[in-house]
Amino acid sequence: METSAMSKHGLLLACALASTVGCASKLENPTDYYTYRNQPLVKQVEDGMTEQQVRNIGGPPSSAMRRKVNAGTCNDYVLNQDGHQQAFHVSFDRDGRVEHSGFMSCAQREKVELEKAQKNVEHGGGY
């Protein structure tokens, strides 16, 4: 019986560590997803949607910018939940389709993309 309890504890710990490692690559706090998961922008926006479809879901963005690293645009939104606010962005590719969304501002997302592009150049450009 004691061995079974220890096995369950070990399995639980392994799952927790695995989920943490998976989230680390997104640079986003999993608590944000849990807190804001029912917000329409979080729940309904999917890759490939048009900007108009996103606006139909979330309304006009609080700001928008032209992306520098990748051609396209990015819209900033501010999510509100129980008196707390959270930045959320929706990035569009050059064809105006959703390419990425997440719990950071467009400026923060642009910085992440710039760092990735610089690392790619430093490592031979992926050729």
pLDDT, averaged per 10 consecutive residues of the chain (127 residues), comes to 46 38 53 93 97 98 93 96 95 96 96 89 69
Tell me the DSSP string of 97-125.
BEEEEESS-HHHHHHHHHHHHHHHHHTGG
Residue appearing with tokens 């990015």? 74
Task: Please report, for the chain, how many H helices and E strands are present, in that order.
Answer: 5, 4
Which of 80, 76, 86, 72 is closest to 106 using CA atoms?
76
User: Distance of alpha carbon 49 from its chain centroid, rounded?
Assistant: 15
Residues in the chain: 127
Q: How distant, in Å, are the alpha carbons of 50, 53, 67, 73, 111 from that of 107?
A: 21, 22, 9, 11, 6
Specify the pTM: 0.73
Q: For the chain, first and last CA: distance in Å?
A: 54
Question: Which pLDDT value is given to residue 67?
Answer: 93
Domain 28-126: give its CATH code.
3.30.1450.10
SS3 52: helix
Q: Strand pairing partners for 84?
A: 81
Question: Which pLDDT value is given to residue 120?
Answer: 83
